């Protein structure tokens, strides 16, 4: 499987890069280094986070350790392949707009390298200490640290340009999901005791004896479900950053979705004409047209609506439409143009998203529907993930799962409760973790597999009267509290260093 995956990645990448011509080998080297670091993060994520998924089946003797991690690695692989990409772009949207627009210059590369290296270093540090800290917290902290550092260095203030609305949504998902996991696991465990009266379910395994066949089958299925859910959610976190790397290094191949052919582009031009007509109705008489790019970038960055935004937005829609008509398909855009067109589409899309929230005009229901349809074409043009990227992330995450899992497994299986995990505790924790992570993924919300499963284990143990080990719980909570600021500080410092070296 690994050999076939690598061969597929190489073939697809070679085909994508064949029409691209660089004056030197430097862009290829930069691309290779950036991809290696991004996939390195997913590899570390595999053995750091997925260990939580196998802890319950290992400590209830449902599966042998090595069989469990291989099984979990395969299900992580499958989960990544079937992921939607919504979480990936939710993560990317946390970045300041300027850095997204500058993905192909020194600031953009410094951003990507800083946040990925910071995330890897913190994950390795917590793994070494055997702490089930969150890779999601780590990645998001790293992104925020880069954003704040960028604006401090730019002189515009540390909070400027950070997408605080998206930060709030992500924080809410990360903050509440462990409490939801704890409460649901406790309730499910009590329900379990009412329904399943087999006393063997509520005693710790004796020696290496396996559990009853039916509970063993359920534990194995739930382990696979948690692993699949982890792949679907956590696997996407690196995908969005890999797409930024590809857009920055090879915009000709990856800035626009080449799968959009002539027929779809023709439909896009019709939708653009309709959207421009809608926007024209909301332009105030006498409003002067400013430079569209500058006006929209200012609005997206600062969130301060001015009447000049509407004519600028209409003009940008018409400009993008003209380019679509001229080139007929996104694959036909000249080599020096895809990056610029992508930025125009991004600014247009973000402006439409923010208008209603930042004091823009109130669109009628019919007009709003036209603009939503137009945004769908913009999303399809720019928010896509090639299949080889999914395969690469799936391989990195799956292989990482099979290596270095033991430290985190010991913490979850032995050190949360004062007595060994019972079959019922393991089963309820896995059920809740799987449902919570899959539910969050369906809504495009990044959650922490580590925190959800650890809190579910703690909830089921508390409901059974098993006292928790205060030292372990304290260490997990401290890692939870300090992960985000520590990763932010580390990535901010690394961004300053990398940006200084890139000048």
What is the mean predicted confidence (pLDDT) over 133-154?
80
Binned at pLDDT 50, 70 and 90, residue 158 comes out as very low
More confident residue, 87 or 411: 87
Mean pLDDT computed over 60-67: 83
Kindly state the tokens that stand for 89: 């772009």
Note whether residue 53 is domain-resident: yes
| Same domain as 422, residue 335 | no
Question: Who has greater pLDDT, 314 or 438?
Answer: 314
Residue where a domain terminates, one of 339, 365, 382 = 382
* pLDDT-wise least confident of 85-99, 133-147, 186-200, 303-317: 85-99
Q: What is the mean pLDDT of residues 415-422?
A: 64
The token duo for 317 is 């829609």
Residue 473 CB coordination number (10 Å) = 16
Residues 304 and 217 in one domain: no
Mean confidence (pLDDT) of the chain: 81
How far apart, in whole angstroms, are the C-alpha atoms of residue 487 and residue 123?
9
- 217-235 core/surface letters (b: 16 or more CB in 10 A; e: else): ebbbebbbbbbbbbbbbbb
Query: Among the three residues 382, 415, 430, which one is the final residue of a domain in this structure?
Result: 382
If one compares 312 and 484, the residue with the highest pLDDT of the two is 312
Percentage, residues of the chain above pLDDT 70: 85
> Does one domain contain both 266 and 290?
yes
Q: Can you say whether the dihedral through the CA atoms of 393, 396, 402, 408 is positive or negative?
A: negative
Together in a domain, 205 and 65 = yes
Q: Which domain holds residue 214?
A: 27-250+389-502
Domain membership of residue 321 (yes or no) is: yes
E strand or H helix at 408:
helix 406-414
161 against 256, higher pLDDT: 256
191 lies in the same domain as 269: no
Nearest by Cα to 472 from 412, 410, 416, 409 = 416
Q: Does residue 178 form part of some domain?
A: yes
* Residue 160 confidence (pLDDT) above 60: no
Reported as a pLDDT band with limits 50, 70 and 90, residue 467 is low
- If one counts the domains in the chain, the total is 2
Same domain, 242 and 263: no
Measured CA to CA, the distance from residue 439 to residue 332 in angstroms comes to: 39
Q: Which residue has the higher pLDDT, 161 or 163?
A: 163
- Residue 56 maps to a domain: yes
The whole-number average pLDDT for the span 378-396 is: 89
Do both 376 and 408 map to the same domain?
no
Q: What's the pLDDT tens digit per position in 162-183?
A: 666 666 766 676 677 778 888 8
Task: Tell me, yes or no, whether 226 and 305 share the same domain.
Answer: no
Q: Look at residue 157 and tell me whether its pLDDT is greater than 60.
A: no
Reply yes or no on whether the pLDDT at 408 is more than 80: no
Q: Is residue 19 part of a domain?
A: no
Q: Are residues 293 and 367 in the same domain?
A: yes
Residue 194 has a pLDDT of 86
Res 146: pLDDT: 87
Nearest alpha carbon to residue 172 among 358, 448, 432, 435: 448
Q: Ramachandran region of residue 288, left (φ > 0), alpha (ψ -120 to 50) or beta?
A: beta
Q: Nearest-CA neighbor of 72 among 53, 93, 97, 94?
A: 53
pLDDT of residue 320: 93
pLDDT at 201: 81
Same domain flag for 276 and 240: no
pLDDT grade for 479, boundaries at 50, 70 and 90? low
Which among 365, 382, 399 is the end of a domain?
A: 382
59 and 106 belong to one structural domain: yes
pLDDT at 104: 65
Same domain? 185 vs 163: yes
């Amino acid at each position: 499987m690994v050999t076939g995956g690598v061969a597929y990645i190489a073939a697809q990448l070679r085909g994508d890069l064949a029409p691209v011509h660089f004056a030197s080998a430097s862009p290829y080297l930069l691309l290779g280094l950036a991809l290696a670091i991004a996939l390195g993060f997913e590899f570390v994520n595999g053995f750091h986070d997925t260990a939580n998924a196998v802890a319950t089946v290992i400590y209830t003797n449902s599966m042998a350790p090595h069989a469990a991690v291989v099984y979990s690695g395969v299900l992580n692989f499958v989960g990544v392949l079937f992921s939607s990409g919504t979480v990936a772009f939710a993560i990317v949207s946390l970045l300041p707009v300027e850095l997204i627009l500058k993905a192909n210059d020194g600031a953009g590369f410094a951003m990507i390298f800083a946040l990925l290296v910071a995330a890897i270093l913190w994950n390795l540090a917590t793994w070494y200490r055997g702490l089930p800290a969150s890779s999601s917290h780590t990645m998001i902290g790293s992104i925020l640290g880069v954003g704040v550092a960028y604006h401090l260095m730019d002189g515009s203030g540390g909070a400027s340009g950070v997408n605080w609305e998206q930060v709030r949504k992500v924080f809410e998902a990360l903050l509440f999901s462990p409490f939801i996991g704890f409460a649901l696991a406790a309730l499910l465990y009590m329900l379990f005791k009412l329904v399943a009266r087999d006393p063997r379910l509520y005693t710790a395994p004796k020696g290496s004896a396996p559990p009853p066949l039916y509970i063993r089958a359920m534990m194995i299925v739930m382990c696979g479900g948690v692993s699949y859910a982890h792949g679907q959610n956590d696997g996407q976190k690196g995908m969005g950053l890999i797409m930024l790397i590809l857009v920055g290094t090879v915009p000709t191949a990856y800035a626009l979705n080449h799968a959009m052919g002539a027929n779809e582009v023709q439909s896009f031009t019709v939708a653009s004409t309709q959207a421009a007509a809608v926007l024209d109705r909301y332009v105030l008489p006498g409003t002067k047209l400013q430079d569209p790019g500058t006006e929209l970038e200012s609005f997206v960055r600062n969130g301060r609506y001015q009447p000049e935004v509407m004519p600028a937005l209409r003009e940008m829609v018409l400009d993008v439409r003209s380019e679509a008509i001229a080139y007929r398909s996104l694959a036909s855009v000249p080599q020096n143009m895809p990056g610029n067109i992508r930025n125009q589409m991004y600014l247009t899309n973000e402006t439409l998203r923010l208008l209603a929230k930042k004091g823009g005009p109130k669109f009628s229901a019919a007009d709003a529907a036209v603009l939503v349809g137009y945004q769908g074409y913009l999303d399809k043009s720019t928010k896509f993930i090639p299949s080889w990227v999914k395969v690469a992330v799936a391989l990195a995450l799956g292989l990482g799962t099979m290596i270095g899992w033991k430290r985190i497994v010991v913490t979850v299986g032995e050190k949360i409760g004062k007595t060994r995990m019972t079959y019922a505790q393991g089963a309820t924790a896995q059920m809740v973790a799987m449902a919570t992570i899959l539910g969050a993924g369906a809504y495009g919300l990044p959650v922490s597999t580590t925190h959800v499963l650890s809190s579910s284990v703690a909830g089921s143990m508390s409901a059974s009267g098993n006292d928790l080990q205060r030292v372990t719980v304290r260490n997990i909570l401290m890692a939870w509290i300090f992960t985000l600021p520590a990763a932010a500080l580390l990535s901010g410092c690394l961004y300053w260093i990398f940006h200084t070296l890139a000048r």
